[in-house]
Amino acid sequence: MTHWAYSFYDFQDGLTGCYAAPVHPSHRERAAEVRRDAPGLRLLELGSGGGQFAVAAALEGFDVTALEYRKAGSAHAQTLAAQHGVTLRTLTGDFYVADPGGPFDVICYWDGFGIGSDDEQRHLLRRLPGWLAPGGHALIEVYSPGYWQKHAGYTRRTPEYVQTYGYDADGARMTDTYAAGGDTRTQSLRCYAPADLRLLLRGTGLTLTAVQAGGRYDRDAGVWHPQATLAECMTWTATLRPPERPAERPASPDSPC
């Protein structure tokens, strides 16, 4: 995992409490949506943060494994699970090297894909087919370049911190900078259009089979629109599947095997 991540998310959580928050209705809505199309109930969440979606998925009946590199995030996930009367498996580690087991019917990665270089993203994607059960799929939330180009320079000021969005056009990366108490930390996430992601997927054993646009924030009106076009959305969700495995043919009665 790229070096800035180890300090940024602790810094962000200290300022906003975003990873120590309760389960929000939006997490329940997303979990219910995932459940509708799930081929089974074994679910892996990568980069699970504070465990809010993981707990929401457990409430939908999923058998959840939540992989998160921050110990505080895994601990909060277990606290939330106890509060809601569900169980889940938490693993603390780096998803570029950790082994979460499996197989899983659904793999989810929300709000964070693009944290590394293209090569690092491709390395992670190559790992997914080995974790998926036959007929399973992965759902990856991807940052949309058009939205972040348009919103570069947007600044939000609070009594505790100043947050500023930027966009690195050469690297196609959004930047999110927090400044507080004389300290400044920035996250940088690679943005992909669907055509870009298809190129990234070459050689990974995965195919992009569906594209679902997310919402957009109207910064002039200060209003969040939960549905937007692919050209306007902040993020979009990619459904990724490995090739279908051929069914095993039963041996002939006359076959020596």
pLDDT digits (tens, 9 = 90+) for 73-129: 999 999 999 999 999 999 999 999 999 999 999 999 999 999 999 999 999 999 999
The 8 Å CB, 24+ separation contacts for 117-123 are 117/2, 117/190, 118/190, 118/200, 120/2, 120/96, 121/190, 121/200, 122/200, 122/203, 122/204, 123/96
CB 151 within 8 A of CB 145: no
pLDDT digits (tens, 9 = 90+) for 118-165: 999 999 999 999 999 999 999 999 999 999 999 999 999 999 999 999
Distance CA 67, CA 92 (A): 6
Tell me what percent of the chain is helix, strand and coil, each rounded to the nearest 5: 30, 30, 40
φ, ψ for residue 49 (rounded to 5)?
Answer: 60, -125
Q: Classify 121 in phi/psi space as left (phi over 0), alpha (psi -120 to 50) or beta.
A: alpha
φ, ψ for residue 109 (rounded to 5)?
Answer: -140, 105
Distance CA 63, CA 197 (A): 29
What percentage of the chain reaches a pLDDT higher than 70? 94
Q: Give yes or no for residue 167 having a pLDDT over 90.
A: yes
Distance CA 237, CA 230 (A): 10
Per-residue pLDDT band at 6 (split at 50, 70, 90): confident
Q: What is the pLDDT of residue 243?
A: 86
What percentage of the chain reaches a pLDDT higher than 90? 89
Distance CA 239, CA 252 (A): 38
Cα dihedral 122, 125, 127, 129, rounded to 10, equals -140
